[in-house]
Amino acid sequence: MSFGRLEKPGGNQPISDINVTPLVDVMLVLLVIFIITAPLMSSRLELELPKAEDKAAQVEEPEAFVSISVDAQGQVYWDEQPVDAAALQQRLEEIARRDPETELQLRADTAVPYGRMVQLIGMAQAVGLSRIGFVADPATGAPTAPAPGR
């Protein structure tokens, strides 16, 4: 009985074809990795975060700060005293000349438009004040919905 030959036809010649399957597998894996990581690399946000110690939860008052408040009608107050735009600009310039590291604490009524606050921030940054903080009351219950049209 003959079951056939167990040898390749052609004898003991080496296989001269290149097996590209492993190469294609590796290239596809690299392509997937590149597709996933490329968007992350282009939208990376560089921040220099402050160093925190064990007592990082304790909030310390800044050494020098100025309080500016805006009521619902848009009137600006400098430490509880009403001021106009020219006087506010002059006072901000004086503070920036004395100490540019002075913190500006902004307090605003919930009815104050966003654009008004942007104007105040822009005015402060134009004179060289870059430390700006927003002051808010702690939440006591469920969050309130914003007023219609705001």
How many angstroms separate the CA atoms of 123 and 88, rounded?
A: 9
**What DSSP string describes 82-110?**
EE-HHHHHHHHHHHHHH-TT-EEEEEE-T
Q: pLDDT (tens digit, 0 to 9) for every residue of the chain, 150 residues total?
A: 555 555 556 667 777 778 889 999 999 999 999 998 887 776 554 434 445 454 443 455 557 788 888 887 888 888 878 899 899 999 999 999 998 888 888 888 878 888 888 999 999 999 988 888 887 766 555 455 555 554
Grouping H, G, I as helix, E, B as strand and the rest as coil, residue 132 is: strand
Which one-letter DSSP state was computed for residue 66?
E
pTM recorded for the entire structure: 0.51
Q: Which two tokens stand for residue 45?
A: 């946000």
pLDDT digits (tens, 9 = 90+) for 13-47: 777 778 889 999 999 999 999 998 887 776 554 43
What Cα–Cα distance (Å) separates residue 104 from each residue in 14, 20, 128?
80, 65, 11
Residues 75/107, Cβ–Cβ less than 8 Å = no
Which one-letter DSSP state was computed for residue 138?
P
